[in-house]
């Protein structure tokens, strides 16, 4: 698994992984914010 990841370790894949993490964290953050607003 790691060898295959190293084989495709190009700037494009790194950028896509970073964008995916940012999108995921944004979804989680918005979900938490909505729950906090409902409690208030």
Q: Does residue 8 have a pLDDT over 90?
A: no
pTM score: 0.55
For the record, the structure tokens of 28 come out as 């989680």
Per-residue pLDDT, 4: 61
Residue 11 confidence (pLDDT): 82
pLDDT tens by residue, 20-29 = 999 999 999 9
For residue 9, what pLDDT band results from cuts at 50, 70 and 90?
Answer: low
Half-sphere exposure for 24 (CA within 13 Å, toward CB): 6
Enter the DSSP assignment of 35: H
């Amino acid at each position: 698994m790691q060898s295959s990841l190293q084989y495709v370790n190009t700037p494009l894949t790194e950028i896509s992984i970073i964008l995916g993490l940012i999108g995921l964290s944004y979804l989680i953050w918005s979900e938490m914010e909505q729950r906090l607003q409902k409690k208030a």
